[in-house]
Chain A
Amino acid sequence: MTKDSTGRKFRVIVAKPGLDGHDRGAKVVAAALRDAGFEVIYTGLHQTCDLIANAALQEDADAVCVSILSGAHMTIFPELLDLLKKKGMDDVLLCGGGIIPPDDAEALRHQGVGRLFGPGTDTRDIVRYLQEEIPRRRPRP
C-alpha cells in the first residue's frame, strides 16, 4: 500500500543533483513509483542539494530519492543528509541509485543514508523498499 489508514499518501521527491544530464533512470523510477500509487515530486536536472532539501521541506516529502551517475555521491549524499537534519527532517528517508561502489555504499549507510540501488534494479524492489521503510520512519499521519 502507498497510503496508510489515515488517508495519507506517500510523497517522494525524485531528484537529479549535479551536472550530468542523464535523467532516464530517475524518470523510470518516478514513473514506477507513480504507477505504484505514490505522489512523486519530480524536480528535474541539475538540482543543488539546497534546492532538493528545500523541496523536501515544502512538499513534506516522506523520502528523497536521488540518482547520481557523476561519481559525486560521496559529497552529495552527506551534504544532503546534513541539510535534511539541519532543517529538522531527521525522519525523512534519503536513498538513491547510480553507480556506487559497495565500499562507498557501506560508508554512506553508516552515515544514515538508506538503500542505494544499482543500475538495472527492478523498480518493484524500489517500490517495496519505500513501502516498508517510509511507515517505519514516519509512522504519524
Chain B
Amino acid sequence: MALADEVLRGSFHAIGKAISLVENGAPEGRDLLERLHARVGDSLRIGLTGPPGVGKSTAVDEMAAVLRARGEKVAVVAVDPTSPFSGGALLGDRIRMSKAAGAGDVFMRSMATRGESGGLARATQDAVDLLDASGRTFIFIETVGVGQSEIEVSRAADCVIVLLSPESGDGVQAMKSGLLEVADIVAINKADRGGADRLEHDLRTAFELGLRPRREIPILATQANAGIGIPELVATVEAFVFARKASGAFQERRRLGMEDRLRKIAEFLVQKDLWGGEGAPERVKEAAERVLRRENSPYGCARALIREALR
C-alpha cells in the first residue's frame, strides 16, 4: 500500500489522510495499522490535561518550539468534545498553536471525541501510533480538559502533565476533580495572575497528606503565553522519563496501558460482531422469543449469542 510507505517516509499529507482513515473506522485504516505496527513504539508520548482554558495548547506550542529547536520531530494530537446534540465539533486548539504549527515541521491534528467520555477519542491512540511510525519523536496528547475522567490519558501517555492555574480554584478543588491522581508533573500556569504560591502550597500539603504518598510529584510554575518556565517543564519531563526507564517503570506502564487498550479493542470487535454481524438482528430476535417461551434463560441465551457471533 502506497499510503503506508508515504506515512513511513513522514509525509504530512499521507499522515493526515491516514489519521482520517483510522478515525472513521475504515478498513483501510485498520490495514494501515497492521502494516505499520512493527514500526511503532519509539516515540515519547506526553499527555497534557487540566481545566478548560488553563493554557494546555499554549504550553504544548511552547514545548514543541523548545523541542523542535533541538531537532526533535514533534507532533500534537489535541482532543476537543463532540457536541452530543449535533454530532459536530468546534476544534479550537490550533488557535494557540501558531508558533509550532507555523514552523511547518510540527504535525498538529485536532480530533473530536466522537462520543467517547474519557477525555480522548477512540482513535487517539491509533493516530498516535501512526505518528510514531512516521518518525515523530515527541507526541503530545492534549485532552478535552473537563477535569473529570481523565484516566484515559494516563494510559495513553508515558508522562502526564496536569496544568492548573490560580484561577481554576484552590488545591482542594484540584484534589476533588481527580486530576491530581493522573499527574506525573504539575504545572501551575498563569503564574503571572497571582495566587500561584498559594496554590503550590496547597498542592504540596495535599501531596504530603498522602494523596500520592509513594512518589514525589514535581510542581513547577509556568507562564505559557510568555514561554516562561517552559524549558524547565521540558527538562522535568525528560528527567521523569529517564528515571522511569532506569527503574523499569516506563515499560511497566506501557504494558498496563496496552493491556487496557487490548481489552477495549477486543470488546469493540466483539460488539461489532455481536450486533453488526450478518444475521445479528434476527438472532437476537429469536433469542428473545426463546426466553419469552421459557425455553432458556436470559443469561443462557446471551451466552449462546456470543458463541454464535464469535464462531
Type the 1/0 row for A28-58, where 1 means its CB is closer than 8 Å to any CB of B. Answer: 0011011111111111100110110011011
The verdict on A40 contacting B102 (CB below 8 Å), with A35-B83, A60-B17 known, is no
Other-chain contact of B94, A30, A42, A60 (Cβ < 8 Å): A42
Within 8 A of A (CB), among B4-26: 12-13, 15-17, 19-21, 24-26
Q: Is the CB of B91 within 8 A of A141?
A: no
Other-chain contact of A2, B24, B28, B87 (Cβ < 8 Å): B87
* Alpha-carbon distance between A80 and B164 when the two chains are bound, in angstroms: 38
Chain B residues in 8 Å Cβ range of A42: 90-92, 94-95
Other-chain contact of B95, A8, A43, A141 (Cβ < 8 Å): A43
Q: Is the CB of A59 within 8 A of B16?
A: yes
Within 8 A of A (CB), among B77-94: 82-83, 85-92, 94
* Alpha-carbon distance between A89 and B12 when the two chains are bound, in angstroms: 12
Query: Which residue of chain A has its CB nearest to the CB of B16?
Result: A60
How far does the Cβ of A12 sit from chain B's closest Cβ, in whole Å? 10
Q: Is the CB of B101 within 8 A of A51?
A: yes
Chain A residues in 8 Å Cβ range of B24: 6-9, 141
Query: Which residue of chain A has its CB nearest to the CB of B76?
Result: A58
* Alpha-carbon distance between A43 and B300 when the two chains are bound, in angstroms: 54
Type the 1/0 row for B188-216, where 1 means its CB is closer than 8 Å to any CB of A. Answer: 00000000000000000000000000000
Q: Is the CB of A87 within 8 A of B94?
A: no
Type the 1/0 row for A106-136, where 1 means its CB is closer than 8 Å to any CB of B. Answer: 0000000000000000000000000000000
* Alpha-carbon distance between A37 and B13 when the two chains are bound, in angstroms: 24
A88 at the interface (CB under 8 A from B): yes
Chain A residues in 8 Å Cβ range of B96: 44
Q: Is the CB of B28 within 8 A of A58?
A: no
Chain A residues in 8 Å Cβ range of B112: 9, 39
Chain A residues in 8 Å Cβ range of B71: none
Query: Which residue of chain A has its CB nearest to the CB of B26?
Result: A141
* Alpha-carbon distance between A42 and B114 when the two chains are bound, in angstroms: 17
Q: Is the CB of A58 within 8 A of B88?
A: no
Chain A residues in 8 Å Cβ range of B89: 34, 39-40
Query: Which residue of chain A has its CB nearest to the CB of B17?
Result: A60
Q: Is the CB of A88 within 8 A of B13?
A: yes
Chain B residues in 8 Å Cβ range of A9: 24, 87-88, 112, 114
Chain B residues in 8 Å Cβ range of A47: 98
Query: Which residue of chain B has its CB nearest to the CB of A141?
Result: B26
* Alpha-carbon distance between A46 and B89 when the two chains are bound, in angstroms: 22
Chain B residues in 8 Å Cβ range of A8: 20, 24, 26
Q: Is the CB of A36 within 8 A of B88?
A: yes
How far does the Cβ of A35 sit from chain B's closest Cβ, in whole Å? 5
How far does the Cβ of B198 sit from chain A's closest Cβ, in whole Å? 32
Chain B residues in 8 Å Cβ range of A44: 92, 94-96, 98
Other-chain contact of B86, A11, A37, A57, A87 (Cβ < 8 Å): A37
Q: Is the CB of B21 within 8 A of A41?
A: no
Q: Is the CB of A57 within 8 A of B91?
A: no
B110 at the interface (CB under 8 A from A): yes
Query: Which residue of chain B has its CB nearest to the CB of A45?
Result: B95
Which residues of B pack against A, CB within 8 Å?
12-13, 15-17, 19-21, 24-26, 28, 82-83, 85-92, 94-96, 98, 101-102, 104, 107-110, 112, 114
Chosen A-B contacts, 17 in total, with CB atoms closer than 8 Å, are: A3-B87, A7-B26, A33-B88, A37-B87, A38-B88, A40-B90, A40-B91, A41-B91, A41-B94, A41-B110, A44-B96, A48-B102, A54-B104, A55-B101, A57-B13, A58-B12, A141-B28
Inter-chain pairs besides A9-B88, A33-B88, 4 sampled, C-beta below 8 Å: A34-B83, A35-B88, A44-B96, A57-B16
